[in-house]
Structure 1
């Protein structure tokens, strides 16, 4: 689907969708629990549906209706399974250790950029712990064997998703285990969300000087709860407000562990007068990588040069997000320069309309819709259907607060 977004400021109230990061974790923990859990305020994004389908394939019973899932934990573990992770890196990286801990011989399949996203920490460590891979740098690939405990040495700089995957799996093992980080852990707030979910389900993890200690033989207990609102999705509306819109954003928890909550502080700090003047920024984005595309849009309207740093991991997301957002903004009058691990953004005050591609990346498409509020002419976004990955009705919500959109099949 291609859409054309017309330049208009937005006004009204939105309730942000549930956090995808939190929902993944709640679904997995519930499926591993000894009993029935109920999760409310679930949103049927493609990624969350993929995680549900994978947990069903591993033996969980999941009844999903409306925004509520009733999940009966795994009782009968299959000997083998096929896990279709679609394009979800979280689903893939969280469930490789889980499937191996359960002793399920598994075929992992996926599409889009997922086959190119690295799983190196598992390839390096799991053969030392009873698991073999049939892997040729693409998908499908296969795991065989049952994971055993012990020490797992993991590079913390590739993705926190590997730490989360291990944290879900290690309580299921007979042996005690230790995750030893060989480098600084980036995106630690995501691991904090995982630790909170584990505590809710009765699993204990001890943080050590250089990683985590997990006692074996633990049992997940059922837990019922509500998925909190997603700060990474709220960021699009927060930035739109900084650019002159007037949106009341509901559904967020001030007590959230989400690292993307930092968007509130960022937007408050850069607006420096009542007329909407915006200070430039220089941000270490190692803990907030999902905010980078929309922050790049924001930087295009700041007075001076802004910098995104420590964001090299964005080159292996749904697309190379540093390249994609640079190309999109430069195509409509922006001045964005790619750095080795980030971006230099020169404020230009306004952007032209024109035509850009989403690069099949939901965050690029939504960021460009925010940019369109300050374009001087309409902006066409090709491949806009990619928002279904995380926020399927984003454009309907956008229209409900005054946005004007025309659609092509």
Structure 2
């Protein structure tokens, strides 16, 4: 893709439905009793891979526009005739493993050439402690049936919503009480949605308690618009002069929207109009004179997927920005910790990679370069924005990776640019 320096972006944009909630709605709906309806479902490569895998396991679904109706199987799935290919969907693969360890048949989970490099020991270990017969440090994962699972008390060694969710889904099938303790809290979509589906789950401070054996009931899930998708436009409007955007009905879960707090900490001009549910709202963002900031601890975890955007924003901010506690970025769709630094430095940024983050000096003017997303959807979209604020021409290889989570990203961006 050839990218040239752009104009300001203006207008109102409704971004797609939340990816994390779309995945979890499919999985919980599949194992519930009765019908589940998912409204504003994200139609992207990742979520559709999870949908296809569940259909291969005997879960009937119908689709009308962005509404998915699921006929729940009450934990009675059927053996797939072939390995379950989750494509690039790490969420789909890890969470589905938590369901399949309790099923009375064997399964194999695999994915694309990016996913088969991602670490799976982090779910294999706790699920094995529960008595699951699951093997594979990386996909493909092989899961064999066991007579029963046992509850465990598990201290999370890393902050990971996917690992936590896999344990919760296994615990829902396990007689007795399983507890999960987090040192730093990760996204809590699974906990909230399990309760919405009628599961016996409680959260007290850092401890999650799941009582297994009770049934889940199908429900209607109104999926908010995806904060991670909105974040690209929050970043772009903040760094592109004279920009102003309105982003309605965006999910504002505290554990998900850390990037919002970071931008405000960096002097970003953002207004929040909360909806009555307090879980979503309209974001109004204007071009800002950003300043450097220090980001660590819980705030790093709450903005993990958006940290590439923090790095880009920091290249345009006055002063030094330090990001720490982000070593988990090494294990995403690519080694984001390394690639964000090397690709933005190629465009003129001043970023020093550390063992768990970056030191970034700004503001630095960016210039066009030959850059590659390496098949990582979030890098593809971040580098597109970088190309829009750079002088000269940027050539972006593997831009199509954006379809993993946001198929219409480029056309949405171009439409906002035309309005200005």
TM-score normalised to structure 2 length? 0.88
1:279 aligns with 2:291: yes
User: Would you say the 8 A contact 1:60–1:71 is kept in 2?
Assistant: yes
Encode CA deviations 1:42-77: one digit per residue, 9 max, x unaligned.
Answer: 121111011111222222111123211010011553
User: Would you say the 8 A contact 1:7–1:378 is kept in 2?
Assistant: no
- Cα distance change of structure 1 residues 163 and 197 upon mapping to structure 2, 3 Å threshold: same
Greater relative contact order (Cα 8 A, min sep 6): structure 1 or 2? 1
Q: Which moved more, 1:217-226 or 1:8-17?
A: 8-17
- Cα distance change of structure 1 residues 24 and 336 upon mapping to structure 2, 3 Å threshold: same
2:28 & 2:138 partners in 1: Cα distance?
28
1:231 aligns with 2:227: yes
1:6 & 1:278 partners in 2: Cα distance?
20
2:3 & 2:118 partners in 1: Cα distance?
31
Matched length: 396
Choose which of 240, 243, 260 in structure 2 pairs with 1:246.
243
Cross-structure match for 1:12:
11
Cross-structure match for 1:145:
145
- Cα distance change of structure 1 residues 69 and 5 upon mapping to structure 2, 3 Å threshold: farther
**Structure 2 runs not aligned, ≥5 long:** 270-285
User: Would you say the 8 A contact 2:292–2:314 is kept in 1?
Assistant: yes
CA RMSD of aligned residues (A): 2.3
Cross-structure match for 1:345:
360
User: Would you say the 8 A contact 1:14–1:247 is kept in 2?
Assistant: no
Encode CA deviations 1:327-347: one digit per residue, 9 max, x unaligned.
Answer: 111111111110000011111
Q: Which moved more, 1:101-110 or 1:121-130?
A: 121-130
Encode CA deviations 1:232-275: one digit per residue, 9 max, x unaligned.
Answer: 11111111121125242333346x32533233333233237998
Q: Which moved more, 1:271-280 or 1:372-381?
A: 271-280
- Cα distance change of structure 1 residues 179 and 357 upon mapping to structure 2, 3 Å threshold: same
Q: Map of 1:5-404 to 2, 5 A cutoff?
A: 5-74=4-73, 76-79=76-79, 82-135=83-136, 137-146=137-146, 147-157=148-158, 159-173=160-174, 175-181=175-181, 184-186=183-185, 188=186, 190=187, 192-208=188-204, 211-243=207-239, 244-253=241-250, 256-257=252-253, 259-271=255-267, 276-284=288-296, 285-402=300-417
- Cα distance change of structure 1 residues 143 and 377 upon mapping to structure 2, 3 Å threshold: same
